[in-house]
Amino acid sequence: MATTTTMTATTPPTPMGMDYTNEPPHSSLLTIQAKEPFNAEPSAAALVEFPITPEDLVYCRNHGPVRVFDEETYRVQVGGCVKSGRSWTVRELKGAFGKREVVAVLQCAGIRRKEMGVIKKVNGVPWSDGVIANCRWGGVLLRDVILAAGVDTAEAREEDMHVCFASYATLCEDDKYYGASIPLGKALDEMGDVLLAYEMNGEPLTPDHGGPLRVVVPGYLGARWVKWVDTITISTSESPNYYQQRDYKILPPSIDSKALATPDVWAKYPSMTTLPLNSVVGSVTPLSSSSPSGTAILVKGYAVPGGEGSNVKGVEVTVDDGETWYPATITYQEGRWSWTLWEVEVDGVEVSGRVRSCAVDSEGRRQPKEGVWNLRGVAYNAWGVGEW
């Protein structure tokens, strides 16, 4: 018989009662976009210098206060449509299951929202192009944890089921807890590399990044990588949480105000899983030129694939709005889930100007020149842009 596990923690108070006074210190290398909750990002110029993003340059995205927990007592519960409800402390997870490491890029759905906001006002933190991080995550396979609890398919076919994640451990702006879900098939995919992670870059996860335990879902947007995860429920439906049902969705451009974005409208559109093919110009450095009338530039940037099953095959840059393209050299890719770093030197350009980047994936798809506006300012992927 399926069992349902409920969270035993006290229901958090309303956002009006949020207390940020005991938050741990945050990295000084980040640009603060909002103080309460703390939301901050590095510059893309700093990011593209490191294949694996150092912790001090990993962006912080929060919907409530950052809290510090002890891995010896912090516990995650697994319930819902399972044969046996189970719970483990982080230390017990380490002892019960083998460690898996995966390099995967984490990116916020609102990356480049500030650029979309130039087209028309959007709702959300005005992120630039630094809400992305490529890290080596360590933890246990979610698949192994679910199999240990056993999936009960009496209420639905396995392919129609979902894994719902929740964090009651800290307060939340728009709901009583932060929640998200992914298809059960994604969680059980032997090649999916979905983790309950307790390490980042070989070190214990810090509070800013969801320590002592967070979800890592390679290929999916960061909203599904729930930090401070303490409850996992196998369910016949998606998470009912605000952030799954009424946020992180791409609404059509005709829905251009909060008044038009009614609950019925939100319900019509699918929850986001992946983000589109994208590239960003991180830095443009003038160099000495062989041309007496121009200059040379060194352009560096990053690119990410769109969706699952594809990868970045190449990146091209243009200094004349697409009339002429220069192929970039890929300097870093690792495994199935990492970002791509690239660079290219262009000689004989004007003394000052603009450079644009366009990623191409393994299916031959090209990054679009223009991005499509939406109310929440998510999934913006127009050509990358830089100036010198």
Tell me what pLDDT residue 30 has. Answer: 98
DSSP string, 215-254: EE-TTS-GGGS-TT--EEEEESS---SHHHHSSS----TT
Residue 8 lies in a domain: no
* 292 and 221 assigned to the same domain: no
Q: How far is CA 343 from CA 20, 62, 115, 302, in A?
A: 41, 32, 22, 9
Tell me what pLDDT residue 237 has. Answer: 97
Tell me what pLDDT residue 308 has. Answer: 77
Q: How far apart are CA 289 and CA 267, in angstroms?
A: 56
Tell me the mean pLDDT per 10 residues along the chain, length 388: 35 60 96 97 98 98 96 96 96 97 98 97 97 98 97 93 97 96 97 97 98 98 98 98 97 97 97 98 91 86 91 97 97 97 93 93 96 97 96
Tell me what pLDDT residue 55 has. Answer: 98
Rg (CA), the chain: 22
* 147 and 238 assigned to the same domain: yes
Q: What is the total residue count of the chain?
A: 388
Task: Specify the number of domains making up the chain.
Answer: 2
Residue 2 lies in a domain: no
Residue 118 lies in a domain: yes
Q: Assess contact for 29 and 42: CB atoms under 8 A.
A: yes
* 184 and 253 assigned to the same domain: yes
Q: Write out the residue range of the structural domain in which residue 192 sits.
A: 60-267
Q: How far apart are CA 349 and CA 315, in angstroms?
A: 19
Tell me what pLDDT residue 117 has. Answer: 97
CATH number reported for the structural domain that contains residue 337 in this entry: 2.60.40.650
Q: How far apart are CA 316 and CA 312, in angstroms?
A: 11
